[in-house]
Structure 1
Amino acid sequence: MTETVFVTARDLARTYDGGAYENAWEAVEQYREATRYANTHDAGSGATASALNLPRGRLRTWIDDSGAPDVVRGIDTAREYGWLKCTPNDDVFAGLNALVANIFSGGAIAEQYYRPSFALNHYGADSHVIDALELVGVDYEIIDDRDGRADEARPTADETVLGRVLAVLGAPVGPKTNQHLSLPSYLVVGSEEVRETFVYAYLENRAVHHEGKDTLTIIEERNDSYLSSLAALINDIAGGGVKRNAESITISADAARSLGTVR
C-alpha cells in the first residue's frame, strides 16, 4: 500500500514562481536536462543550448559557472533534511506538523523570503516547538526581551526553505488577521496521531485557562469557516464537549481533561 506523501519537489517549486522564473518547476526541469546533457557530452553552455533549444544566457550560469537556480538548491536542501516525500509515520513529519500548528496558533511566516518564527508558550524553552525543530533537524535560536511580546524560536539555517515547506503543507504566509484561513488539507487524510499532534500543539499556544475552572477557551479573530473547522477538529479529538461560539471556542472541563491539557 502506497503511503500518503504531503510535500513533493514540484509542490515546493511552486513557492518560487514569479521570482527569477515565472514557472520555477519548468526551470528545474530545464536545469536537470541541461546539466545532464552537458555532463554526458562534455559540452559547454553554447553546445548544450543549441542541442536542447534553450537560451544560452540561462545555461551559461548553470553550466559554465556551476550556478544552480535557487529553486533547485531549495529542493536539494529540503531533500537532505528529509522534508520531501515524508509520510505521516515519519518523525520528521511529526515535527513539521507541530510547526504548522504553531504558525496557525502564534507563529508566523514572513511574506518576504518565507522566513518563519515560532511562538514559545508558557512552557518557555520546554515548548513543543523546540522538540519540533529538533525533529525537523534545523538549528535555531531563542529570541527573548521582545518588549512584552512572547519569546520566539527562529531557525538559523535553511529557514526560508523550511518556511516554504510549511507553506506547502498549508501554513499561512503573512499576517493572518485579514486572511481567509482554512485548516491544512492533510488533517483530513492524516492519521489520528497526526490530528492529535496538531490539536495539542495548537492548544498549548491558544487555550486560555480560567481560575478555578478546568474549562478552556480559544479566542481568535478568524473567519467563520476556519473557527468552525477548528472546533470540529478539537471536538473529534476530545470525543465531544467542544462548542463553537460567535468569536470563540469553548472546551468543556471533561473535554479538557480528556485532552490532558489542564494545568
Structure 2
Amino acid sequence: MGNERGLVTERELARTYDSQSYSDAYTAVEDYRRVTQYASEHPDERSTAISSALTLPRGRVRPWLEGSKPDPVRAIDTAREYGWLECTDDDPEFRGLNVLVANVFSGGSIDARFYQPSFSIDGEGNDRVFDALERAGVDYRVVDGRSGRTDEVRPADDASILGRVLAVLGAPTGPKADQHLTLPAYLEGAPDEIREAFADAYLENRAIGHEDKDTLHLQERRNRGYLADLADLLDDVADGGVALREQHIVITADASRRLDAVQ
C-alpha cells in the first residue's frame, strides 16, 4: 500500500531554512500569510496600521506589502509549482525524486550550506539520472569533471529548493562519510516499484562486479546500522540472497540476476 500522506510538507520544507528573526522558520510563513490576508481584507490600511494590528515589526511587514517574500514562502510556492509539495508515491514527480535521493546516497551530494545538489554521471546509469530529473520537472546542465573526477549533472534552476526537498525526503547533506546515515523513512512500506527503483539506482552507482561470476558486492565507509538496513532493503527487493559481511554487502549471483530483472 502506498503512502497517501504528502511526503514533503510545507512545514518540513520551511524548516530547512535558518532565520535570524524566527526560531522556527515556518512561523515566518504563517506571519507572511497573516499579513497578506489582513492587507487584502483591509486594502486602505498601510504598513503601520497593519503591523500594529498584527503585533509585528513594521520593518518586517512593509517589505511583504511591497512584494517581498520570506525565503521559505518562495520555496513553498516553487515546490508546489513543480509538483513536489505534498507529493505521494503515486505521483510521477515523486518517482523522479526517489531516484534522485538514491543517487545522493550513492553517487551525488547536497551542499550542506546552500543545499545545491549534484549527481555524478559515469557509465550506463546516466540515463536514470537524466530521466529522474525530467520526471521531477528539472532542467539540468552537465559539468565536465576536472582533475580525474567524473562529470556531474546539476539543476539549471531552483537548485537549492530541489536540494531542500531531497533533504526533507531523507537525503543526506554534506560529506556522507562523517555522518550517521539512515535510509529514507518513506521506503518503509513504500510500493515495490519505489523500493526497486531506489535499489536499482543505488546499485548502478555502487555495485562492484567480477569478471568470472555474477556475484556483486558493495563496500562503503558507512555506519553499520545503515549498511544493515541497506542490505535488508536489497535482500527484500532481490527476494533473498543479500547479506552484510563486516563492512561490505554481498549479493549472490542468483540475487544479482533477480535484481537485474527488476531494473
Deviates more, 1:12-21 or 1:180-189: 12-21
Shift of 1:194: 1.0
Asked if the contact 1:140/1:155 (under 8 Å) is kept, the reply is yes
Shift of 1:227: 0.3
- TM alignment of 1:16-95, pairs within 5 A: 16-18=17-19, 21-42=22-43, 43-63=45-65, 65-95=66-96
Distance 1:124 1:254 in 2: 22
Shift of 1:124: 6.0
Shift of 1:17: 3.3
Match of residue 133 from structure 1: 133
1:17-71 deviation line (CA, Å, top 9, x unaligned): 34564321101000001011112211221111111111111101111x2101111
Give TM-score, length-normalised by structure 2: 0.95
Deviates more, 1:24-33 or 1:146-155: 146-155
Asked if the contact 1:12/1:168 (under 8 Å) is kept, the reply is yes
Shift of 1:121: 3.3
- 3-state SS of the aligned residue for 1:32? helix
**Bigger relative contact order (CA 8 A; separation at least 6):** 2
Distance 1:262 1:249 in 2: 19
1:4-24 deviation line (CA, Å, top 9, x unaligned): 321111110110134564321
Distance 2:188 2:23 in 1: 31
Distance 1:234 1:177 in 2: 21
Asked if the contact 1:214/1:262 (under 8 Å) is kept, the reply is no
Change (3 A) 1:111 1:190: same
For these two proteins, the number of residue pairs brought into alignment is 261
Q: Percent identity?
A: 56
Matching residue's letter, 2:237: I
Distance 1:246 1:142 in 2: 37
2:259 corresponds to 1:256:
no
Match of residue 165 from structure 2: 165
Match of residue 4 from structure 1: 5
Asked if the contact 2:3/2:89 (under 8 Å) is kept, the reply is no
Distance 2:234 2:55 in 1: 54
Which consecutive residues of structure 1, in runs of 5 or more, have no partner in the other structure?
none
1:150-191 deviation line (CA, Å, top 9, x unaligned): 211100100000000000000000000010000000001311
Shift of 1:262: 11
Asked if the contact 1:256/1:262 (under 8 Å) is kept, the reply is no
Distance 1:121 1:250 in 2: 23
Distance 2:153 2:169 in 1: 20
Which consecutive residues of structure 2, in runs of 5 or more, have no partner in the other structure?
none
- TM alignment of 1:88-237, pairs within 5 A: 88-123=89-124, 125-126=126-127, 128-237=128-237
Match of residue 14 from structure 2: 13
Change (3 A) 1:28 1:88: same
Matching residue's letter, 2:82: Y
Question: Following superposition, which runs of at least 4 residues in structure 1 exceed 6 angstroms of deviation?
Answer: none
